[in-house]
Structure 1
């Protein structure tokens, strides 16, 4: 009997197995491939937490894998933080299947250790969870979400006492603590009645929402008299069946944006995300209904947030009257320019802009123009949150942080990407430019003319299951061991291997990269171009990012197409040879 079959037998013979999971197990036992995939390994707990398909098995999201993770987290907190039982842990959840159940399971396991849990009484966005950790002063936070993944997924995301995603070092210790729990089926937990009786579970209402909205109002760059005016900006907003409805609409109302049309078909939470192929504002088809409504109301700006409201997409009209979805890089550069142009110059002296290594260099160019230092981080907003925490000690000022995947943070009262902050600021910015008789696309053209025509792209290859994971490892090995000297006729000037922590120059000289280790490779090319290859940390994908700059949009398009075609061909060749 193989190792995975032993684990399967343990589950199938467990007398107290949850009835719904037992039924699911019966349904898949005739499919050897599905059964093996559910049991051949434990669900990966990465640097932010774990995310996976719902169902029975140790490689699935269910009450038993949740209990094991929480048990490890509890032991980690008791050893590494102070006043754990009194300060407690705050838990929020989104609109997905089993989200509320997993939130309560978290409280049930923490309760066995005497750790108080604050659980929101209904679904809430991820940025509110980040804020709640800081507001309540808890030792940690847990967000039950799979972000923009398909309906069959859910996840368990851990936040540290600063309100940021756990750092790699914290994750390493938590993972080690989780692994000390050998049997996920026998993790002790407290029943709901006992939790309530001992006051170890506290249901959180609107208090934190209201405190968040007070902070949100403070990020506005509008003068007080301007805030009081009703604004003639036509807005269409879709929360894509997720959690953003209340905070976004209330946040806009605070600034007197009166003309906000909500896409009613997508306003209510729906774990099936039934009106979209994917609840991801990065995917342009997610804006289909918003565009239809926008055309009916002649909207100036369309807003779309993902299910847990940490990502924002924006669409605006082009010169033909059609709506165009801005990329994350474009919206980030526009927001940065608006914020810096409406900030106190005295405050800017110590200001820092944060972006990831795969985010557009246009942001750096904009920051440079205002004399602002740009700091690069690894991919993932946890690294931006960690850097903000360091600023608390160094006296540097956080001014803005963003990543290409539609994540933005304007004020550090939250320490993760915040689509609510970004949505309100995007509307304020659109209102500003409308008064100048410009759309956001025209404002973007101003940036391009000033700084250069920066253009970025990304391609990804999905490789599911055990075989797919092995193929992703092979792709990275091949490219790391056979380093490229030229890509699409562009010479490689530097190679940055973040796993080795080394930068290799064209002449062979090596430099140390002052960033945490991660399985990524970036090629800095001539003519202000670059390519970066990275396995996804949350999905069975390998991603390839591209960036170029030229004197015209046409030239940038040509350069980007050449890079993409070359890298796609290279990766497909590696896959087909195995």
Structure 2
């Protein structure tokens, strides 16, 4: 037997994964064994995420205990009073999540670190909220969010309430590596509680999140909430109880929840893929909306940090809004309602640039970050001032944060805010579609799309190839500015150059004449190129939305087709 495998079997505290590994050995399944032991799950700014199973390249109790040991050691080494400030821990409804959370608690308390552990499943934003609410050194959420059922994850928040960023990720990873070669002390939950190192977060804690959201000034627009009907699904996740409660608190009396998807179920039996962005995932909530003639069909993903919505059209059918459309509506609505000094809004570089145009028109301050919500919130904290307090940020992948009560994406408060903006429009005799059209008529019709191109794994990095032979036009449109995030340079067609003040990343952005934009970045996990496209179609006074959309769609198809041909 391989010495790594033998050592793993000796350390693994879980009979289930030990048996799984022994069966692989008995079957002489060399390919599977090689995959399990070819390295280990990499800890990064997103924490850990992977398939549950035996071995260092899987999610299991031993990997969790080693990871928690590394996190604890890093906290004790770098954060003053980390032990007494403690760590909040919560978990989602997947089969192993509670066990992984309890293992994390046992490891941290054995290091003398106080732990605040939720008594039951908790939405990710409810756990992230606890960092600032309880003034802890960090938080851990055991969740794989909207990944398939076989996955689980370990997400870490820092003492500022946001997800970790460098150098925290590398520092924790270094301590995890050390932990893999040492014994892993643990303290039972009972002993931890007796020593005063474990505090159970019971209903009072969940109510604190509820009360904080209800008192958030950005969620107090109670304009005839009883006049609209809202269909909702938790998508077999942990959001239903809090989502329904917050909507009811806000005065929405017609909430219709999808019963078949309301309770936490890590097997996700009614959806192929528990991600609201995936085809078919919203089918049941749209059916529920049709049944009750609801204006909105809303969804949270399984850990309730993302928000998705389909809106009823004039013909009675429901159309899913893109993440950029929701972000645009939020930006306009919140900037129109917030205090004058609460005007800092941002999104990621692959999200629509329309938010920046809206911010400029309304006298707000706008910022952009690399992809990932960790950047949106950490940068917001660094940029806000007394006269420019943070208001709102979003990423096109259905992540939104409304205000600073939670320094991460929060699908629960986003749900309430979107229902409130819809109710306000309804009271004026207007719809979401009317509001979008009004914004487009003022700023132009912005359409965004994403495509991926498979790459030859043996070829030179595509970004370097593109840099070596710079393009001057794409789809017949001159490039007026190229942003190269690997070189941290913004280069204009007239020869002028500016520095980009963002972390280095292998991303190229081409701004084209007329407002169109092309973004290319290699995938970090597989041999493919991710391409993001944006076209801006001016809307004339005599234009109908249908005609403008047709023109924009034609322009988008032409841009995608010609760009992809040029780089294959």
What TM-score comes out, normalization by structure 2 length?
0.91
Deviates more, 1:427-436 or 1:334-343: 334-343
Q: Name the counterpart of 2:315.
A: 320
Q: Name the counterpart of 1:564.
A: 560
Q: CA deviation at 1:180?
A: 2.9
- Structure 1: give runs of 5+ residues left out of the alignment: 574-578
| CA distance in structure 1 between the aligned counterparts of 2:23 and 2:362, rounded to whole angstroms | 61
Asked if the contact 2:12–2:18 (Cα under 8 Å) also holds between the matched residues in 1, the reply is no
Q: Name the counterpart of 2:194.
A: 197
Q: CA deviation at 1:487?
A: 3.0
Q: Name the counterpart of 2:482.
A: 495
> Is the alpha carbon distance of 1:565 and 1:270 closer, same or farther for their aligned partners in structure 2, counting shifts above 3 Å?
farther
| CA distance in structure 1 between the aligned counterparts of 2:398 and 2:52, rounded to whole angstroms | 26
Deviates more, 1:28-37 or 1:126-135: 28-37
Asked if the contact 1:11–1:17 (Cα under 8 Å) also holds between the matched residues in 2, the reply is no
SS at match of 1:285: coil
Q: CA deviation at 1:16?
A: 5.3
Q: CA deviation at 1:541?
A: 6.9
Alpha-carbon deviations, 1:226-249, whole Å to 9, x = none? 56x661111100010111112111
Q: CA deviation at 1:533?
A: 2.7
Alpha-carbon deviations, 1:332-383, whole Å to 9, x = none? 1111111122233x335xx211111111011112112211121111111111
| CA distance in structure 2 between the aligned counterparts of 1:257 and 1:246, rounded to whole angstroms | 15
Q: CA deviation at 1:394?
A: 6.1
| CA distance in structure 2 between the aligned counterparts of 1:490 and 1:58, rounded to whole angstroms | 49
Q: CA deviation at 1:570?
A: 6.3
Q: Name the counterpart of 1:363.
A: 355
| CA distance in structure 2 between the aligned counterparts of 1:276 and 1:570, rounded to whole angstroms | 37
Q: Name the counterpart of 1:282.
A: 277
Q: Name which of 4, 7, 10 aligns with 1:10.
A: 7
1:332-481 equivalence runs, <5 A: 332-344=327-339, 346-347=340-341, 351-391=343-383, 396-460=388-452, 474-481=461-468
How many residues are paired up? 557
| CA distance in structure 2 between the aligned counterparts of 1:539 and 1:98, rounded to whole angstroms | 27
SS at match of 1:180: helix
SS at match of 2:487: coil
Q: Name the counterpart of 2:135.
A: 137
Asked if the contact 2:109–2:186 (Cα under 8 Å) also holds between the matched residues in 1, the reply is yes
Asked if the contact 2:72–2:111 (Cα under 8 Å) also holds between the matched residues in 1, the reply is yes
Asked if the contact 1:409–1:422 (Cα under 8 Å) also holds between the matched residues in 2, the reply is yes
Q: CA deviation at 1:568?
A: 4.9
Q: Name the counterpart of 1:511.
A: 498
> Is the alpha carbon distance of 1:483 and 1:307 closer, same or farther for their aligned partners in structure 2, counting shifts above 3 Å?
farther
SS at match of 2:282: helix
| CA distance in structure 2 between the aligned counterparts of 1:64 and 1:25, rounded to whole angstroms | 13
> Is the alpha carbon distance of 1:87 and 1:183 closer, same or farther for their aligned partners in structure 2, counting shifts above 3 Å?
same
Asked if the contact 2:13–2:61 (Cα under 8 Å) also holds between the matched residues in 1, the reply is no
1:91-170 equivalence runs, <5 A: 91-170=89-168
| CA distance in structure 2 between the aligned counterparts of 1:75 and 1:364, rounded to whole angstroms | 41
| CA distance in structure 1 between the aligned counterparts of 2:550 and 2:431, rounded to whole angstroms | 21
Instruction: Calculate the aligned-residue CA RMSD, in Å.
Output: 2.6
SS at match of 2:179: coil
Q: Name the counterpart of 2:73.
A: 75
Q: Name the counterpart of 1:87.
A: 85
| CA distance in structure 2 between the aligned counterparts of 1:394 and 1:341, rounded to whole angstroms | 19
Q: Name which of 526, 533, 540 aligns with 1:546.
A: 533
What TM-score comes out, normalization by structure 1 length?
0.90
| CA distance in structure 2 between the aligned counterparts of 1:223 and 1:269, rounded to whole angstroms | 29
| CA distance in structure 2 between the aligned counterparts of 1:46 and 1:257, rounded to whole angstroms | 40
Q: CA deviation at 1:474?
A: 4.1
Asked if the contact 2:239–2:303 (Cα under 8 Å) also holds between the matched residues in 1, the reply is yes
Asked if the contact 1:220–1:425 (Cα under 8 Å) also holds between the matched residues in 2, the reply is no
Asked if the contact 2:219–2:417 (Cα under 8 Å) also holds between the matched residues in 1, the reply is no
Deviates more, 1:413-422 or 1:486-495: 486-495
| CA distance in structure 2 between the aligned counterparts of 1:155 and 1:473, rounded to whole angstroms | 32
Alpha-carbon deviations, 1:74-113, whole Å to 9, x = none? 1111121111121110001111231111111111111221
> Is the alpha carbon distance of 1:448 and 1:127 closer, same or farther for their aligned partners in structure 2, counting shifts above 3 Å?
same
Asked if the contact 1:316–1:439 (Cα under 8 Å) also holds between the matched residues in 2, the reply is no
Q: CA deviation at 1:398?
A: 0.8
| CA distance in structure 2 between the aligned counterparts of 1:76 and 1:90, rounded to whole angstroms | 16
Asked if the contact 2:124–2:141 (Cα under 8 Å) also holds between the matched residues in 1, the reply is yes
| CA distance in structure 1 between the aligned counterparts of 2:5 and 2:24, rounded to whole angstroms | 11
Q: CA deviation at 1:414?
A: 0.4
> Is 1:305 aligned with 2:303?
no
Asked if the contact 2:323–2:397 (Cα under 8 Å) also holds between the matched residues in 1, the reply is yes
Deviates more, 1:297-306 or 1:52-61: 52-61
Q: CA deviation at 1:219?
A: 3.4
